[in-house]
Amino acid sequence: MTTTVHAFGAREAGAPFEPVTVERRDVGPHDVKLDIEFCGICHSDIHFADGDFGPLPISPLVPGHEIVGVVTEVGDAVRKHRVGDRVGIGCMVNSCRECENCLQGEEQYCLKGHTLVFGNIDRDRSVTQGGYSEMIVANEDFVVRVPDVLDPASAAPLLCAGITVYAPLKRWGAGPGKRVAVVGLGGLGHMGVKMAKAMGADVTVLSRSESKRQDALDLGADAYYASGDTATFQTLANTFDIVLNTVSAPIDINAHLGLLRLRGTLANVGVSTEPMPLNAFALMNNERTIAGSQFAGIRETQEMLDFCAEHDVTAQVEVVAGDQINDAVARVLSSDVRYRFVIDASTLAESTPAH
Ligand code: NAP
Ligand code: ZN
Ligand code: ZN
């Protein structure tokens, strides 16, 4: 038995999102069912739906991995969540739970492959469908608590954008006395500014033009430079402990490495499907590090949500209805997101095709 729910999905790579339905499984002993309230639109959803990562694994593909909702049913064996709880689901809904990475709580690096919340084949062979939908059923271990003090719409983007910047900032020591540069002021970038400030670091934004200067300062940044101005890379040479790259396109890695002071780290979370050439001297100088990071494990995701509750950190969001998703996607693609679109799932049933 399954339940049919309203959703928005793409029928082909690059096609507009349109109203569709998806089937949700019945609640198993370890499952939690949630009525989705809000789901963020991450640039990764767009990469997937546009076919940047390969052909669509299922049609229609329903993306969405920044999910906040309320629990409406739990399986008999569920211990972590109760009916009525506000909870979240991020990028993953399963992993093997027994490899050395899973055992360390780093399920995102499961050696047998994590299961993404959408567009992946789950352990039961079904293909997962994501949060641009009204309801979802998931294993309790991949569902996190959303603290009551957080506004649910503004908290949704924490489930990907928030954790994706929190993990490398923490890993590389963002804190008092440390200088962090956030490259690219979009969904991840604006969370990077807020998280690094909440951790106590001094934060500089590098955006392509001057257009986001006031926004960056309003978000809490201490300084702002246009990366399109070549003087910027001279002025800021050998300055930062951490350069956090959140750009959804190739960047000049060598120029950005040059911004790092002694033993600084370029933490890369932005996804470019093009290779980025590396000049060995840019890396060797100042004993620099380049590091990657992919969202985070469930334990750290919960830690991040609790940190955000304590430090009053949420995303700056624009809430949209289902029939506004295509306009929102167009604005993300033109870097006109200020600074995360979030879908109001209560509108999905009534939304009409957007053509
Ligand atoms: P976004 O909201 O679109 O922000 C990306 C920002 O990158 C833009 O606002 C823009 O900032 C800059 N940018 C875009 N195109 C550019 C270009 N051609 N050259 C230079 N700068 C450009 O996207 P997002 O949702 O924050 O996601 C950012 C990237 O992170 C995406 O590639 C996404 O797939 C990836 N991601 C990775 C993880 C992970 O686990 N590692 C998780 C989530 C997302 P300015 O206007 O300030 O220049
Ligand atoms: Zn994401
Ligand atoms: Zn594993």
217 domain residue, yes or no: yes
Give, using CA atoms, the residue closest to atom 35 of ligand 1: 270
* CATH code of the domain containing 15: 3.90.180.10
Q: What is the mean pLDDT of residues 202-208?
A: 98
- Which residues have any ligand 1 atom within 6 Å of their CB? 42-44, 47, 160-161, 164, 184-189, 207-208, 212, 246-249, 269-271, 293-295, 332, 335, 337
Which residue segment(s) compose the domain that 13 sits in?
A: 2-160+315-350
Residue 308 within any structural domain of the chain = no
pLDDT at residue 113 tops 80: yes
User: pLDDT digit string (tens) for 124-142?
Assistant: 888 999 999 999 999 999 9
Q: 199 in a domain, yes or no?
A: yes
Do residues 287 and 331 both lie within one domain? no
CA 352, CA 355: separation in Å to the nearest integer? Answer: 9
CB neighbour list of residue 215: distance below 8 Å, 6 or more residues apart: 185, 190, 338, 339
Q: Are residues 168 and 276 in the same domain?
A: yes
Looking at the fold, whether 341 and 245 belong to one and the same domain comes out as no
Residue 352 has pLDDT above 70, yes or no: no
Residue 273 belongs to a domain with what CATH number? 3.40.50.720
Both 151 and 165 in one domain: the answer is no
Contacts of 101 (CB under 8 A, 6+ apart): 107, 109, 110, 111
**Strand pairing partners for 135?**
35
**Same domain assignment for residues 51 and 166:** no
Nearest residue CA, atom 27 of ligand 1?
43
Is the separation of the CB atoms in 305 and 147 below 8 Å?
Answer: yes
Using only C-alpha atoms, the chain has a radius of gyration, in whole angstroms, of: 20
Q: What are phi and psi of 175, to 5 degrees?
A: 175, -170
Examine residue 236 and state whether it is found in any structural domain, yes or no.
yes
Quick one: 37 and 85 in the same domain? Answer: yes
Strands 240-245 and 260-268: parallel
Examine the domain organization and report whether 71 and 147 are in the same domain: yes
In a domain, 122, yes or no: yes
What integer is the mean pLDDT of 159-172?
Answer: 98
Pairing, β 240-245 against β 179-183? parallel
Could you tell me if 338 and 282 lie in one domain? no
Q: What gap in Å lies between CA 328 and CA 319, rounded to an integer?
A: 10
User: pLDDT value at position 1?
Assistant: 82
Which ligand 1 atom sits closest to the C-alpha of 211? 46
Regarding whether 152 and 6 lie in a shared domain, the answer is yes
Residue among 159, 94, 150, 86 nearest 313 (CA): 150
Q: Is residue 33 part of a domain?
A: yes
Measure 25 CA to ligand 3 centroid, in angstroms.
23
Read off the pLDDT of residues 218-231 as tens digits, 9 standing for 90 and up.
Answer: 999 999 999 999 89
Q: Are residues 129 and 250 in the same domain?
A: no
Select from 292, 323, 338 the last residue of a domain. 292
Do 59 and 172 reside in the same domain of the chain?
Answer: no
Total-model pTM: 0.97
The whole-angstrom separation of Cα 200 and Cα 310 is 14
Asked if residue 165 is part of any domain, the answer here is yes
**pLDDT tens-digit readout, 96-109:** 999 999 999 999 99
- With tokens 């569902």, the residue in question is 143
Residues 289 and 266 sit within 8 Å (Cβ to Cβ) = yes
Q: Which atom of ligand 1 is nearest to the CA of 183?
A: 47
Q: Does residue 305 form part of some domain? A: no
Same domain, 266 and 123: no
Domain count, the chain: 2
- Pairwise CA distance, residues 316 & 154, whole Å: 6
Cis peptide before 339 (omega within 30 of 0): yes
